[in-house]
């Protein structure tokens, strides 16, 4: 795993993000505010929490290219999914409640980033990677991480006449449908198809475990962000 810190500044009330290339390092001063807060001690947070600490959590997750939703100081399901993704990347124990404790705050101060799983000879600068083992989706734009998301892929169960398995391999985005598509095996929101009927898509149910018929489910909000970010033709590598 590689360490990464993304620089940020609050200018006129807006968070300004400074992307870093894979493996790059930020100036130590970039993490100073977070380091000071971590040293002082941050409160435990979980789904339903509210307040300034939640907003700091949300802003830091955004800075690191996760998608906690609006930085409004309210810990809802979108923030929880972003916390799950961050904790999985940083090998912090993941709780269904999205509990953020000392280990998570420490990791936010000195975070890791997932290594690319696409072989170098196949790797495109613009791509989506689906990491089955960690249940993560990572989007790269011009070689830099643009988005990291929790996902739920094929369950491995035998159901509806077949084994629910997400195909592995090197694919590309074939088509996209903005909005809702009701398919035979369920409802897909903003689907991005990469292999036949298999797609990355939004869902109301994105649990911590593999649970889909083979698609890569995404939290609401993140699905639309990815839809707008990833055009037809982009590489999708599944491992």
User: One of 139, 215, 216, 230 is an active-site residue; which one?
Assistant: 215
**Angle in degrees, CA 212, 213, 217, rounded to 5:** 40
Catalytic: which of 109, 127, 201, 213? Answer: 201
201 is catalytic: yes
Name the one residue in this structure whose structure tokens are 């990491």: 131
Burial class (CB in 10 A: 0-12, 13-18, 19+), 23: exposed
For the chain, what is the radius of gyration of the CA atoms? 18
Q: Is-catalytic flag, 150?
A: no
- In order, the DSSP letters of the chain are -EE---EEEEETTEEEEE---TT----GGGGHHHHHHHHH-PPPB-TT-BSHHHHHHHHHHHHTTB---S-SSB--HHHHHHHHHHHHHTTPPP-TT--B-HHHHHHHHS-EEPPP-S-TTT--SSEEEEETTTTEEEEEETTEEEEEEE-B-B---EETTEE--PPPEEEE--EE--SEEEETTEEEEEEEEEETTEEEEE-S---SS--BSSSEEE-TTHHHHHHHH--TT-EEEE-
**Positions marked active-site:** 201, 215
């Amino acid at each position: 795993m590689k360490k990464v810190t993304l620089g940020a500044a609050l200018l006129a009330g807006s968070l300004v993000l400074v992307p870093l290339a894979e493996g790059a390092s930020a100036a130590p001063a970039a993490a100073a505010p977070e380091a000071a807060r971590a040293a002082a001690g941050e409160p435990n947070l979980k789904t339903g929490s509210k307040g300034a600490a939640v907003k700091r959590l949300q802003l830091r997750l955004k800075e690191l290219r996760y998608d906690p939703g609006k930085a409004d100081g309210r810990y809802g399901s979108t923030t929880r999914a972003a916390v799950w993704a961050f904790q999985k990347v940083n090998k912090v124990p993941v709780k269904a409640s999205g509990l953020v404790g000392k280990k998570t705050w420490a990791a936010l101060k000195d975070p890791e980033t997932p290594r690319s799983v696409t072989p170098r000879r196949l790797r495109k600068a613009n791509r989506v990677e689906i990491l089955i083992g960690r249940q993560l989706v990572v989007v790269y734009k011009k070689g830099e991480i643009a988005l990291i998301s929790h996902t739920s892929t094929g369950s491995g169960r035998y159901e509806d006449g077949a084994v629910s398995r997400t195909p592995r391999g090197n694919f590309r985005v074939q088509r996209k449908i903005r909005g809702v598509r009701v398919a035979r095996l369920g409802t897909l929101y903003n689907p991005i198809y990469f292999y036949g009927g298999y797609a990355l898509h939004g869902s109301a149910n994105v649990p911590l475990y593999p649970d889909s018929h083979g698609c890569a489910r995404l939290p609401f909000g993140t699905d639309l962000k990815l839809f707008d970010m990833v055009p037809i033709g982009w590489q999708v590598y599944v491992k």
